[in-house]
Structure 1
Amino acid sequence: MTEWSDYLADEAATVAAGERLGRVLEQCPQGLSLHLEGDLGAGKTTFTRGVLQSFGHSGAVKSPTYTLVEEYALPSRTLHHFDLYRLGDPEELEYMGIRDYFTGGDICLLEWPTRGAGILPPPDLTVSLQVQEPGRLVKLEAGTDRGERLVQQLAQPQ
């Protein structure tokens, strides 16, 4: 599968990379699943803030560590930001109706997706963030044909 990567020098660059991906996501009318991978403090929520800002969100973005999901109903799309770090068992996702989030045209961004293994659908894109002082390395990898098209769009010069 196709992948794209970039070095992000600081927090502003991480937000900008999320905004860039968000502009590409806006062009895809179908629902999308994005898995956000990286250690604690790698920038997953900061990257998500950039995606949300590209859709017009101007408020704070916090990791939904205790609520598991934060919904952002924005003018053009609804985005769901999940943080599964504190999930005890993947079956808990069934009780919260997880499958309902992956219908229609909504975009789901999932931090710590391995905690939902066996329940979550395969990701269209996997976004990996890795600390490389003083910044971060971001890598996007397609997991579906739809994700493949998104990565190809992202790889085109701006």
Structure 2
Amino acid sequence: MIGERLLADPAATDALGAELAAALRPGAVVLLLGDLGAGKTALARAIIRTLMGDPAFEVPSPTFALVQPYEAPIGAVLHADLYRLGDPREIDELGLLGDPGAIVLVEWPERAPELFGAATLVIALTIPPGGEGRVVSLTEPLKSA
């Protein structure tokens, strides 16, 4: 699963979301990087819908709420969008890492760099030249010993 691939269309994004959801375990912290329109929310939605066991499950963007919680069969899932975070110190108030058993998906993690130390998976999405599809790169962050 680690590596780079082209997501040619929304169905490919949904398939990757399902693949990732099957691999996630309680306590996972997934960081989603990419410019506006790169597909971070679409991928997060696909992951959450799979974790909820409902491909039609309504997954609103957490842009204004900052954090949207879900109770999936596997346990708590938190979907955060830090784009509107005013100060990195506000991250503590969001409680993203307060439940060690929650699966946490974070869009715009660059706004709170300390999250990179807790990450179990980093996903970078880019728009390729020509704008067709998305390139996704999945990496496991290095952990200091």
CA displacement at 1:52 relative to structure 2:
1.3
From 62, 65, 72, the equivalent of 1:64 is 62
1:111 pairs with 2:112 = no
RMSD: 1.9
CA displacement at 1:120 relative to structure 2:
6.2
Deviations 1:8-65 (A, max 9, x none): 011121111111111111xx3x411010000001011110111112211442222201
CA displacement at 1:119 relative to structure 2:
5.9
CA displacement at 1:100 relative to structure 2:
0.9
Q: How many residues are treated as equivalent by the alignment?
A: 139
Q: Which runs of 5+ in 2 are unaligned?
A: none
Note the 1:39-118 alignment, pairs <5 A: 39-55=35-51, 56-57=53-54, 58-101=56-99, 103=100, 105-118=101-114
What letter matches 2:103 in structure 1?
Answer: I
Contact 1:43 1:129 (C-alpha < 8 Å) held by counterparts? yes
**Alpha-carbon separation, structure 2, partners of 1:65 and 1:122:** 22
1:135 pairs with 2:133 = yes
**Alpha-carbon separation, structure 2, partners of 1:97 and 1:144:** 23
1:37 pairs with 2:26 = no
Q: Which runs of 5+ in 1 are unaligned?
A: 146-158
TM-score by length of 2: 0.86
Name the counterpart of 1:17.
16
TM-score by length of 1: 0.80
Identity of aligned residues (%): 39
Q: Which runs of 4+ in 1 moved over 4 A?
A: none
